[in-house]
Structure 1
Amino acid sequence: MNLPTPLALILILSGAWSLVVWPPFLRRVLKDPRSRDEHGRSTRFRTVHIMLVSTSMILGAATLVIGIRALIA
């Protein structure tokens, strides 16, 4: 892959940012009273946020890898 160094660095920074920012958000969601109903079962609030965080972290990891590969190549 032929990508200018500044753009590869932006991809690396963006991917790292996603991997740093989302886990604390997920911890807050899991502690939120709206994440479980009165019987202790997961709510849609929890499910939606877990999917959001999972997707964002997967895309962040992919962005980080693409940036690193572009920087090395």
Structure 2
Amino acid sequence: MSLPPLLSWVLIIAGVWSLLVWPPFLRRVLKDPRAKDESGKYTRFLMVHFMLVSISMILGLATAVIGVRSLIGG
């Protein structure tokens, strides 16, 4: 894949940003009282946010990998 180096760096930075920003968000969601019901079971609130974070991190990793591969010419 051939991209200009600047665009490769944009992809790398965007990917790393996603990998850094989402885990603290998930930790806050896990501490939120809406994450579990009265009996301690996980709620839909938690599951929706867990899926949001998971998908965002997978896409962030893919974005960073594409940026690195395009930068090194792989």
1:1-73 equivalence runs, <5 A: 1-73=1-73
Structure 1 residue 37 displacement after superposition: 0.1
TM superposition shift of 1:51: 0.1
Letter in 1 for 2:24: P
Distance 2:51 2:58 in 1: 10
- RMSD of the alignment, in Å? 0.2
TM-score, length basis structure 1 = 0.99
Task: Report deviation, 1:9.
Answer: 0.2
Structure 1, unaligned stretches of length 5 or more? Answer: none
- Structure 2 gap ranges (5+): none
Runs of 4+ in 1 over 4 A off after TM superposition: none
Deviation, structure 1 residue 22: 0.1
TM-score (norm 2): 0.98
Q: Secondary structure at the match of 2:17?
A: helix
Percent identity over the alignment is 67
